[in-house]
Amino acid sequence: MRSDLDNPSKPRVWLTGASYGIGRAVALEYALRGAFIGLTARSEDLLSDLLSEIREAGGDGLVLAGDVKDLDAMHRNAETMRNHAGGIDILIANAGSHLPSEVESFDAEQYMGLMSLNYAGSLNCIQAVLPEMLKAGRGHIVGVASLAGYRGVPSAAAYGASKAALIHFLESLRFHIEPKGVEVTIVNPGFVRTPLTDKNDFKMPFLIEADKAARIICNGIQRGRREITFPFLFASFIKLLRIVPMSLYIALMKKTWKRMQQG
């Protein structure tokens, strides 16, 4: 599938979760490619600093601070971006967080809180751009989910469920909007070094740096990939685990998790 945007090399990109981590690296990568980038996150000061860096690197954009859980704020951000840039070619719904799932302190409200950020937050941004994209008959929606969304993994009951929901939603949405000219890309990273993973107290196999992840994501989007998974070996292993029978999956995952905890 090829991107059918007017000028794929200089897209107008609205990116959430842009203030640090993978989002920040994606913003800088797009800056090198000369894009116009709308930057959303809650930390307005970090976004302002990032915008200066983007301009130095040859890109341009604007700060669209806000909480993705606030639907009205996301509508306002999308409107501001359209007014400034004349449109939105690509939405990258990347804002998200992680909550290690401890059974002893299980709290349904906390789990739903993560769902409202990782899942509903992405949906809010999609709602803010989709009608205009459908009207124009073109556009590209990118959702950043996770390899943890494929099957249940230890310590990720809350996180994995929210990412599984996002993957499922986007896979279904695609059937309705691709025939009308709006592309869908699902990004499923493995472990990437960011403030999110800095909190993990286990060994993360095939951990990669955020700038490398950003290059893979931007290349994949530019090529119109429907799914972007990385790093290759780890993603292939996790994908294979999707099709093994439950008893074998449990045995393999227990062994892998034990190794990861041993460091």
Ligand X SMILES: NC(=O)c1ccc[n+]([C@@H]2O[C@H](COP(=O)([O-])OP(=O)(O)OC[C@H]3O[C@@H](n4cnc5c(N)ncnc54)[C@H](OP(=O)(O)O)[C@@H]3O)[C@@H](O)[C@H]2O)c1
Active centre residues (catalytic):
159
- Using CB under 6 A as the binding rule, whether residue 221 contacts ligand X is answered as no
Q: Which residues pair with 36 in a beta bridge?
A: 12, 60
- Among residues 41, 78, 90, 216, the one that binds ligand X under rule CB under 6 A: 41
- Using CB under 6 A as the binding rule, whether residue 38 contacts ligand X is answered as no
Strands of the chain (E only): list them.
12-16, 36-40, 60-63, 90-93, 139-144, 182-189, 192-193, 208-209, 227-230
Q: Residue 151 belongs to what H/E stretch?
A: none
- Among residues 5, 15, 23, 170, the one that binds ligand X under rule CB under 6 A: 23
- Among residues 115, 196, 241, 253, the one that binds ligand X under rule CB under 6 A: 196
Q: How many CA atoms lie within 13 A of 112 on its CB side?
A: 3
- Using CB under 6 A as the binding rule, whether residue 95 contacts ligand X is answered as yes
> Per the structure block, which two tokens stand in for 36?
């116009």
| Interface characters, 56-75, with ligand X (x: CB under 6 A) | -----------xxx------
Tell me if 237 sits within 8 A of 196, measured CB to CB. no
d(CA 43, CA 48): 9
Q: Applying CB under 6 A, what is the total number of residues that bind ligand X?
A: 29
- Using CB under 6 A as the binding rule, whether residue 48 contacts ligand X is answered as no
Q: Least distance in Å: CB of 159 to ligand X?
A: 7
Tell me if 37 sits within 8 A of 15, measured CB to CB. yes
Tokens 């954009």 belong to residue:
61
- Using CB under 6 A as the binding rule, whether residue 81 contacts ligand X is answered as no
Task: List residues near ligand X by CB under 6 A.
Answer: 16-23, 41-43, 67-69, 94-97, 117, 121, 144, 146, 189, 191-192, 194-197
